[in-house]
Amino acid sequence: MLLAIKEDGGPKGKQVVTQVQALIARGALKPGEALPSTRLLAEQLGLHRSTVAAAYQDLWAQGCLDLRPGAQPRVRPRGGLIPAPPAGAPGFPWEARLADLGRLPRRPVRPEGAISFADFTMDPRLMPVAAFERSLRSVLRRRGPEVLAYGDPQGQPGFRALLAARMAQHGVAAAPEEILVTHGSQQALELVLRGVARPGDAVLVETPTYNQFLRLLGLLGLRALAVPEGPGGPDFAALEALVRRERPALAYVMPSFRNPTGRSLDPAQRERLLALCGAAGLPILEDGFTEEMKYFGRAIQPLKALDRSGLVIYAGTFSKILFPGLRLGWIAAPEPCVAGLTALRAAGELGPPPLLQEGLEDFIRLGRFDQHLARLHRCFRRRMDAALAALRRHLDPAWAAWEAPAGGYLLWLRLTGFDPALDLEAALARHGVAVRDGRSFFPCPAEGPRWVRLSISTLDEAEIARGIERLAVGLRALRGT
Amino acid sequence: MLLAIKEDGGPKGKQVVTQVQALIARGALKPGEALPSTRLLAEQLGLHRSTVAAAYQDLWAQGCLDLRPGAQPRVRPRGGLIPAPPAGAPGFPWEARLADLGRLPRRPVRPEGAISFADFTMDPRLMPVAAFERSLRSVLRRRGPEVLAYGDPQGQPGFRALLAARMAQHGVAAAPEEILVTHGSQQALELVLRGVARPGDAVLVETPTYNQFLRLLGLLGLRALAVPEGPGGPDFAALEALVRRERPALAYVMPSFRNPTGRSLDPAQRERLLALCGAAGLPILEDGFTEEMKYFGRAIQPLKALDRSGLVIYAGTFSKILFPGLRLGWIAAPEPCVAGLTALRAAGELGPPPLLQEGLEDFIRLGRFDQHLARLHRCFRRRMDAALAALRRHLDPAWAAWEAPAGGYLLWLRLTGFDPALDLEAALARHGVAVRDGRSFFPCPAEGPRWVRLSISTLDEAEIARGIERLAVGLRALRGT
C-alpha cells in the first residue's frame, strides 16, 4: 500500500484516511484485501503508532475497514450504500402519502411600495421589544437552569396561574389545573380537533370562517358544516336543523371580531348558541384570538363565562396582541379535558419553552403587558376610525358594503359587479395595495358577490388612508371589466 | 329601582353595575322589567349621565340588560347560562374520547437525598446559561421585531443552513431546503409517523426501544413490530422475515447509544440494515438523539450518510446536548418529504419560536456550542469511566451484566434472580437511589431477567460512585426476596 505523507499536507492521520479512501475508491485496494498493521504502517511512514491507529478507527467508523482484535485490518466489502433510484423510477408508496399533505404556498411577492392590508400580524413599530428583553434577562438570571430544562408538560405552573387570573377578568372561572399552555392558539385548535373528533366527523363552522381552520379540518379528515349567516348573524333555525341532522362532533366559534369578518355575536346570540349546543351536548371550541382587542364600547363576556357544564373549550393566544413569534397560547377547559389534551400533546412534543412562558409571565406581572394593551387600544381606536372614514370617503356604497367592527383589526368588504374569474389579489397588487381575497374563508366556494378582507394591523392612519384610496382607485378600474 | 351610591364605595359606575346585578340576582328586578333611562337615573343618583351610560353598557355586555336605541333599558331574560350537570349524570360521548387519551403520570416524588439515575436530562451544572443569554440579547438587539414576529414555517433559513452544515460534518449531504426545524426530536417522530403511516399500520422498532415512541405509536393507532435482538445486535434474519410478512410502514432505529440500552450499531450492521430496507422500499426513521455524544473512539457515520435514495429520514435534537427547554430539534430528509411534513406541522402550529432558533444559531456560530460540546465530552468520558469502574467494583457478574457503551449517558443492567413482581423503582428508592425499571421500554412485557436503565446525565463522578454503591447494596438486599 503506497501512501505519501507530506509535511505540509495537514494533519497526518487525516492524510492517511484520505489516501486509503482514495485507494479504495479507485479499486487499488480491493474488498477483503489486508492492510499493514498499525505498527508496520507507522514504521513505514515515520508516524506515531497512535496516529495510525486513530486513522484506522476513523476508516472503520466510516465503514471502510474491518478491524478485529488480533486480526489484520481488511478493506470491508461495501454492501450498504443505497444508490439513488434511476430517473423516472416509480416512487415509494409512502412518498405519495407525503405528497398528499400538500405544500405551503410560497409567500406572495409584493410590488415595492405596496400598502398591505393582507398582513395580519403585530405592527413591528408597536412591539415592546426592550421591555420584553428585560423580562427574559431577569428570568434567565434568576432561574436560568430551570427555564432551560424540561418544563411542566401542561405549561409552567406560575404562568398557568396568571392565565387563570386573566380569564377571571373576563368572567371565566378556571383553575390553573384547567389551563393548558399551547404553541399559539393554532395548536389549541389542532389538539381539540384531534382529541374530540374522529376522521369522518362533521364540525360546525361559521360562514365565513378562519381559512387555516378549514385547512386543518381537511388534513384531519373532518368535514366542515357551514352554518348559514344572515345580515344580523348566524341563522339559528338552520343551525338547529344541522345539529339534529348531522350530529357534528364540535362547533367552532369566534364570538368576538371573527376572522375574516370582524363581526361579533351579541349577548343574546351567545346565549342562544349556548342553549342550543347545551341541549344537544355539543361541545363548543371558542376561539378568543382577539378577545382583548375590544376598544369601542364594552367587552362582551366570552361564551365560556356563561358555561357551568364544561361544554365550552376556550382557546386564547398572545399572537395577535403581543409577539406572534413567542408562539404562546392556551386552552381553558374542564380538568379532565385538559389532562387528556396534555397527554396527547406530550406524546408529540413536550410543550412551549419554559423560558418564554416565564419571561412572558414576568412581563405581565410587572404591568408591562397591560401598558402595551392600553397603548394598542388607543392606537387601533384611531386606526379603525381612520379606516372607516376612508372607506366612507372613497368607496361607493352602491357596490361596496362593510360593517363597523367593535374592535380587532379586520374589515370585510362585500363587492358587487366584479368578474367572478378576476384574480382580485393580483389585480389590486398592480394598484399598489395588497389584500386577501375573501374566498378562501368560505367552506364552499361562494357564488355571487366578491369579498375582500382588510387587516389594518400593521398600518398607521396615514398608510390606511392612502391604502384605501389606492384600493378604491383599483376597484373602480377593475369593476365591470 | 333603589340604588345607594356611596362616596367611599369605589368607582360609581362600578357600584351601579354591582347593585343592578344584585337586584337581578335576588329577583327584585325581573326579566323584562324596565330600568330608568340613563338621564333619569343620573339625576336620581347625582351622577354624570355618561357614567350611567357606561354602567348600562357593562351590564349589556354581561348579558344582564337589553339596550336598543330609542327603547327603555330592560332586564334580559337569561336563556344561555348552561348549568352544571347533576351529580352522577352520564358524560358526553366526546368526554370518553378525551379520557381514552389517558393522563400523564405524576412525576415520582423522590426521597430526600436520593441519587437519581432516573433523570435523563442536561446537568444544570453544565449549562452555559450566561453565554446563551448573551446570544439571545444580541439577536433581540439586532433583529428584535423580526424574531418576535411569525417566522418561516419550515424554520429560520439561517438556522437551517447551519444545521445543514453540521449534518455535513457527519457525512450527511442535506441542503437547507431539506431541513425542517422541529420542537425537539419528539415532534419530529410524531410528524414522520403521521405523515408516513396510517392507523393500523405496523412500525418496526428495536427491542428494547424508547418508551415514549411506543406510547406515541399507541396514541396514533399504530402497531409496534419488535425486532428480536441477540447479544451482538438485531437479528437480521428475523427482521427480514418480519418485513416480508408484515409489510411495515416504517422502521424506527437509534443507531448510536440507543435509549435505553446505550448500544450502537457498528458499520457492518448499519449497512446490512440499509440494504435490507432499501430492497423492501421501507423508509427508516433514524433517531440521532445523542449523535454528538461519541466520546470514546471515533464517531460512526449515521445511516443517512450512506443513503442516496431518500429512504432515511433523520431526526436530531439539541435537548440531550444543550438545553432541553429550548425544544429545538430538526428533520433532515428529501425536499418533498420535508415540504409535506412542513405543511402538516403548519396546520397544527407554526413552528418553533424564531427568537430561540436565531439565538441558538448565534451561539453556535460564535463557537460557544463546540466549546460546550468539547467540555461535555471531557466530562462524560470521566463520568462514564467512573460508572463502569463502580459497576465492576460493586456488582456481582453472577447476577448483573452490562455492556460498556461508546458514548452517551445510558447504561443498561441485566439482572437475574429477582422477583418478577417486585417494584424495582420503589424498592431501590428506599435505598436512596432512583432508577428506571427497564420494562416500559419493551413493546411486549418481557419475561425472564429484570432490566434497569441508569442515566448518568445529571451526576458527577462522586455521585455516580456513591449511587452505584447504594444500588448494589439495594439489589443485594432485594435479590431472591
For the cut 90, the answer to whether the pLDDT of residue A30 exceeds it is no
C-alpha cell at A377: 387600544
Mean pLDDT over all residues of chain A? 91
pLDDT of residue A134: 97
Q: List Cβ neighbours of B95 (8 Å cut-off, separation of 6 or more).
A: A336, A337
pLDDT of residue B221: 93
The confidence band for A132, taking pLDDT boundaries of 50, 70 and 90, is: very high
Mean pLDDT throughout B455-467? 98
**In whole angstroms, how large is the CA radius of gyration of chain A?**
31
Q: What is the pLDDT of residues B369-404, one digit of tens each?
A: 999 999 999 999 999 999 999 999 999 999 999 999
Domain with CATH 1.10.10.10 in chain A: 12-75
* Residue A62, burial from CB neighbour count under 10 angstroms (0-12, 13-18, 19+): buried
Distance from CA of A476 to the nearest CA of B (A): 34
What is the predicted pLDDT for the residue at A96? 83
| Surface of B (198-257) touching A: CB under 8 A | 198, 212, 215-216, 219, 249-250
**CB-CB neighbours of A317 under 10 Å:** 26
Which chain A residue has the Cα nearest residue B275?
A: A80
pLDDT, average across residues B160-176:
92
- Identify the pLDDT of residue A56: 87
Task: Identify the H or E element spanning A469.
Answer: helix A461-478
Q: What does chain B come to in residues?
A: 481
What is the pLDDT at residue B78?
Answer: 67
Interface membership of A28 toward B (CB under 8 Å)? no
Q: Is residue A80 scored above 60 in pLDDT?
A: no
pLDDT exceeds cutoff 90 at A345: yes
- Section B118-137 average pLDDT: 96
| Mutate: best of A323, A328, A330, A357, partner B, most B CBs <10 A | A323
CA distance B49 to B38: 6
pLDDT value at residue A220: 92
| B370's grid cell | 463546540
Beta bridge partners of A251: A204, A284
- Does residue B435 have a pLDDT over 90? yes
Greatest Cα pair distance, chain B, in angstroms, is: 96
Write out residues 50-89 of A within 8 Å (CB-CB) of B: 54, 57-58, 60-63, 66, 76, 78-85
Q: How far apart are CA A136 and CA B144, in angstroms?
A: 13
- Whether B102 sits inside 8 A of A343 (CB atoms) is yes
The model's confidence at residue A90, banded by pLDDT at 50, 70 and 90, is low
Q: For A385-409, how does the pLDDT look when each residue is reduced to its tens digit (9 = 90+)? A: 999 999 999 999 999 999 999 999 9
Residue ranges matching CATH 3.90.1150.10 in chain B: 115-123+378-478
Q: Is residue B442 over pLDDT 90?
A: yes
Residue in A closest to B95 by C-alpha = A337
Interface test with A, best of B119, B142, B148 (most A CBs within 10 A): B148
* A147 reaches B (C-beta below 8 A): yes
B452 to chain A, minimum CA–CA distance in Å? 23
Q: Is the Cβ pair A63, B301 closer than 8 Å? A: yes
Question: For residue A193, what is the enclosing H or E element?
Answer: helix A184-196
User: Is pLDDT of B304 > 80?
Assistant: yes
Helices in B225-349 by DSSP H: which ranges?
236-246, 267-280, 335-348
Of A129, A133, A347, the CB nearest to B216: A347
pLDDT at B300 over 60: yes
Q: Per-residue pLDDT for A4 more than 90?
A: no
**Half-sphere exposure (Cβ direction) of B178: Cα atoms closer than 13 Å:** 17
- State residue A164's pLDDT score: 95
The whole-number pLDDT of residue B30 equals 87
List the beta bridge partners of residue B433. Answer: B115
Whole-number pLDDT of residue B109:
73
**Number of Cβ pairs closer than 8 Å across A and B?**
332
Proportion of chain B in helix, strand, coil states, percent, rounded to 5: 45, 15, 40
| Confidence label for A245 from pLDDT (cuts 50, 70 and 90) | very high
Which fold is adopted by the domain B12-75? Arc Repressor Mutant, subunit A (1.10.10)
Q: What is the pLDDT of residues B307-353, one digit of tens each?
A: 888 899 999 999 999 999 999 999 999 999 999 999 999 988 889 99
Partner residue opposite A349 with nearest CB, options B215, B250, B327: B327
Average pLDDT over residues A97-115: 84
Q: Where, residue-wise, is CATH 3.40.640.10 in chain B?
A: 127-370
Distance CA B423, CA A150 (A): 26
Looking at the partner chain, which of A151, A212, A298 has a beta carbon nearest the beta carbon of B61? Answer: A298
Give the C-alpha separation, A3 to A15, whole Å: 9
Q: What is the structure's pLDDT at A389?
A: 98
Residues from chain A that touch B62, judged by Cβ atoms under 8 A, are: 171, 267, 301
Residues B64-111 pLDDT 10s: 888 877 788 888 876 656 677 666 666 777 788 888 888 888 777 777
By Cβ distance, the residue of B93, B249, B268 closest to A94 is: B249
State how beta strands B115-116 and B433-434 pair. parallel
Q: Residue A204 corresponds to which cell in the numbers above?
A: 360546525
Interface of A with B in 99-138 (CB under 8 A): 99-104, 121-122, 124, 127, 129-130, 132-133, 136-137
| Contact status, residue A274 vs residue A423, Cβ threshold 8 Å | no
| Mean pLDDT value across residues A135-161 | 97
**What CATH class has B115-123+378-478?**
alpha beta
Supply the CATH classification number for the domain B127-370: 3.40.640.10
Q: Are strands A400-401 and A329-332 parallel, antiparallel or unpaired?
A: unpaired
Q: Per-residue pLDDT for A74 more than 70?
A: yes
- The pLDDT assigned to B375 comes to 97
Region B417-434 average pLDDT: 94
pLDDT digits over B199-246, tens only?
999 999 999 999 999 999 999 999 999 999 988 899 999 999 999 999
Instruction: Give the pLDDT of residue B458.
Output: 97
Lowest mean pLDDT among A30-39, A148-157, A316-325, B332-341: A30-39
The cell numbers describing A290, all together, are 382577539
Give the nearest partner residue to B348 out of A104, A130, A190, using CB atoms: A190
When pLDDT is averaged across residues A69-98 and rounded to a whole number, the result is 74
The pLDDT of A38-56, averaged and rounded, is: 89
Residue B91 vs residues A204, A283, A338, B94, B95: alpha-carbon distances, Å? 21, 12, 16, 8, 6
Q: What is the C-alpha to C-alpha distance for residues A316 and A332, in angstroms, rounded to an integer?
A: 8
Task: Note whether A398 contacts B: Cβ–Cβ < 8 A.
Answer: no
Residue B63 pLDDT exceeds 80 = no
* CATH 3.90.1150.10 domain range(s) in chain A: 115-123+377-478
Residue A328 distance to chain B (closest CA, Å): 9
Positive or negative: CA dihedral B323, B324, B328, B332: positive
> How far apart are the C-alpha atoms of A120 and B386, rounded to whole Å?
56
User: Using an 8 Å Cβ cutoff, are B428 and B474 in contact?
Assistant: yes
Report the complex ipTM.
0.89
The answer to whether B98 contacts chain A (CB < 8 Å) is: yes
* Topology of domain A115-123+377-478, CATH: Aspartate Aminotransferase, domain 1 (3.90.1150)
